[in-house]
């Protein structure tokens, strides 16, 4: 069950803090790979993104959305939400820039919107205590 003693504001602050740490992990790996000439920037970014996603998943599972129950589909749901928000980022940026909004303002609006949607999706779906497989049990 979700940690109900934590207010929604405290939960959001914790979620944002974990996101900050995950972003730091992403950039650390990215810079480490680039500075040492291990790979090109695109692969370094992907590698950093994977590390950031792992940090985000573990941090949110253990510190934000504390739950009991079956966890086996949480990683899949996490990846699906992450993919949806990344696609939403691209689409949102494209649409707002087509409406002649500056790239910086567009990115800020898209980030705020997707952070709120990602938080909601993770809170009520990804890390929800009831796993999807429970819906398919006959007994």
Measured over the CA atoms of residue 84, residue 91, residue 20 and residue 23, the dihedral's sign is positive
96 and 130 within one domain:
yes
Rounded percentage of the chain residues whose pLDDT exceeds 70: 85
Domain count, the chain: 2
61 and 1 within one domain:
yes
Rounded to the nearest 10 degrees, what angle do helices 103-121 and 74-98 cross at?
150
Do 68 and 128 form a contact (C-beta atoms < 8 A)? no
85 and 62 within one domain:
no
Q: Tell me what the pLDDT averaged over the chain comes to.
A: 85
Tell me the mean pLDDT in the region 95-113: 91
40 and 4 within one domain:
yes
Residue at a domain's end among 50, 66, 82: 66
96 and 35 within one domain:
no
Q: How many residues does the chain have?
A: 139
Q: Which helix (H) or strand (E) holds 50?
A: helix 41-59
5 and 53 within one domain:
yes
- pTM higher than the cut 0.85: no
60 and 74 within one domain:
no
pLDDT of residue 44: 87
Tens-digit pLDDT profile for residues 63-90: 988 766 667 788 899 999 999 998 998 8
135: how many CB neighbours lie within 10 A of its CB? 7
Domain that holds residue 114: 69-134
91 and 47 within one domain:
no
Q: Which residue has the tokens 């949806």?
A: 84
Residue at a domain's end among 34, 66, 98: 66
Q: From CA 110, how far away is CA 102, in angstroms rounded?
A: 12
Whether 139 is in a domain gets the answer: no
């Amino acid at each position: 069950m979700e940690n109900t003693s934590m207010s929604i504001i405290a939960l959001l602050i914790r979620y944002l803090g974990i996101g900050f740490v995950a972003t730091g992990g992403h950039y650390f790996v990215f810079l480490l790979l680039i500075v040492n000439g291990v790979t090109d920037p695109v692969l370094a970014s992907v590698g950093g993104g994977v590390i950031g996603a792992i940090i985000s998943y573990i941090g949110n599972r253990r510190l934000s959305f504390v739950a009991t129950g079956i966890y086996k589909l949480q990683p899949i749901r996490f990846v699906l939400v992450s993919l949806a928000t990344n696609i939403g980022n691209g689409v949102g940026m494209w649409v707002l820039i087509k409406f002649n909004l500056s790239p910086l303002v567009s990115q800020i609006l898209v980030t705020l919107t997707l952070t709120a949607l990602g938080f909601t999706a993770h809170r009520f779906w990804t890390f929800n205590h009831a796993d999807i497989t429970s819906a398919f049990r006959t007994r």
